[in-house]
Structures are given as C-alpha cells and as structure tokens.
Amino acid sequence: MSDMNGDRYDGERYDGGRYGDGLYDHDLYDDDLSDDDPSDDDPSGDNASGEHDRGDEEFDAGMLEEELRQAAAVLDPVPAELQQIAVDAYALHDLDARVAELTFDSLVDALPVRGVTDTPRMLTFRAGDVTVDVEVTAQGLMGQVLPPQPARIEVLGGPRPGSPLTADDLGRFTGDVPLSGPFALRLRTGGDVVVTEWLRA
C-alpha cells in the first residue's frame, strides 16, 4: 500500500487502525494517559467528602441530643413534689435565715425497745440559742420552741404548702396533717428566721 507521495506502508506495522511496534504506538499513549487521576484536582474528592461527612455527624448528634431532651421532658417529667421543694429551697436562699441542725433523731440515736412498735419519732434541732423539739406521729406533729416564745411555723414539703402553725407563749405548737416525703420547718420568731434541716418522714 502506498500514500500519495508514493511511500509504502508496512502491512505488518499497521493492523486494524493501530500501529504496532513503531513510534506511534497508541497503547503507549493510552497507558500514559491512564496514569492521570482526575480526582487529584477535583475539589469534590475524598478530602471534601470527608469534611462533609464529619459535618453531617456533628449536625446529627446535635439534633439527636435535642430530641432526647424533648422526649425526657414528656416521658419523664419532674415530680410536682420535687418542684415544690426546689421552689422552697430557692426562696430560702434569699432570706437571712439560720439553719437549725439536727442534733437528735430517735430513728438513729434512740435505743430500740423490745415489743414496742409504732413509737413517735422524736427530733431535736438547734440553731444557736434556739432549740426546736418535734414529735412526729402518724396523725401529725407537735413540738416546742426553746426558750419558750411565740412563733409562726411553716411545714415545708409536699406539692402544696400546709397551713402555718402558731406556737403559743410557751413555744408549744401542734399540727394535724401527717407528714410525707421530705419536709422541713421554717420558724419566724420576731425578726429572726430559723429553718430546720430537710428530713424524710
């Protein structure tokens, strides 16, 4: 076979539109081109996709946490009794009140008596020179403020505050509402405010 200039092609060097072992070997060019990785210059390659995936993970974690908070508020609400205790404790924070520490509790300090059941629980609180003795029964409570003096006493605890109690001139007071759950006593004697430690009935 010859071209327009009269030169002849070597049939063995040309087969089916591709050159064989000559300088114009298309397989060689194909191999060279296949080494180029277009993803190297692609901004949407592995690096960009990795950063995008990490962003999605952080976003999903934030949404999951918020959904869990909402579910907890609906499925596991704070008990009303605990809310009231928190409100009372916060109110006490703003008062110039003295804390009466528990110095005696018959459930802990008294010696058990054989054969005696359903005995009253005796409590003693002390704040400075003020002492409060309290007897807790299934019917309510009674007590005395020492030294004897009039006082206004509030029983803290429960979903609703109870009616205030009044100590007479001898410091004696009684309440006919049984105690349940955590409770404390707040005493107002003149300009002084005393709050007992919280106990569980």
Give the model's pLDDT for residue 48. Answer: 52
Q: Is pLDDT larger for residue 3 or for residue 83?
A: 83
Same-domain check for residues 67 and 104:
no
> In angstroms, rounded to a whole number, what is the distance separating the alpha carbons of residues 160 and 138?
19
Residue 154 covered by a domain: yes
Q: Which helix (H) or strand (E) holds 174?
A: strand 172-175
pLDDT value at position 149?
95
Instruction: Tally the domains of the chain.
Output: 2
- Pair (55, 93) in one structural domain: no
pLDDT in tens, 142-185: 999 999 999 999 998 865 666 799 999 999 999 998 888 889 99
Domain hosting residue 17, numbered range: 11-73
At residue 64 the predicted structure's pLDDT band, cuts being 50, 70 and 90, is confident
- pLDDT per position as a tens digit, 85-119: 766 666 555 457 889 999 999 988 877 666 666 78
In which band, very low, low, confident or very high, does the pLDDT at 54 lie, cut at 50, 70 and 90? low
Structural domain includes residue 4 = no
Reported as a pLDDT band with limits 50, 70 and 90, residue 187 is very high
Determine the Cα–Cα distance for residues 139 and 62; give it in Å rounded to an integer.
52
Query: Domain of 137: which CATH number?
Result: 2.60.40.760
Q: Give the model's pLDDT for residue 59.
A: 60
> Is 103 in contact with 125 (CB distance < 8 Å)?
yes
Contact status, residue 146 vs residue 167, Cβ threshold 8 Å: no
Within its chain, how far is the Cα of 135 from the centroid? 37
Answer yes or no: do 182 and 87 share one domain.
yes
pLDDT score of 26 more than 60: no
Residues 152 and 66 both lie in one domain: no
The answer to whether 32 and 22 are in contact (CB under 8 A) is: no
pLDDT band at 57 (very low <50, low <70, confident <90, very high): low
Q: What is the pLDDT of residue 92?
A: 58
Q: Which residue did the predictor score with more confidence, 143 or 53? A: 143
What pTM was estimated for this model as a whole? 0.54
More confident residue, 127 or 110: 127
- Do 85 and 117 belong together in one domain? yes
Q: What is the largest CA-CA distance in the chain?
A: 140
The DSSP line for 122-156 is EEEEEETTEEEEEEEETTEEEEEEES---EEEEEE
Is 108 among the domain residues? yes
**Predicted local distance difference test score (pLDDT) of residue 94:** 47
Burial class (CB in 10 A: 0-12, 13-18, 19+), 61: exposed
What number of other Cβ atoms are within 10 A of residue 25's Cβ?
Answer: 13
Closest CA to 130 of 175, 173, 192, 198: 192
Instruction: Look at residue 166 and tell me if it is in a domain.
Output: yes
pLDDT at 66: 81
| Total count of residues recorded for the chain | 201
Report strand pairing: 192-196 vs 121-127: unpaired
Do 88 and 53 share a structural domain? Answer: no
Q: Which residues partner with 100 through β-bridges?
A: 196
Q: What is the pLDDT of residues 66-88, one digit of tens each?
A: 887 777 666 666 677 776 676 66
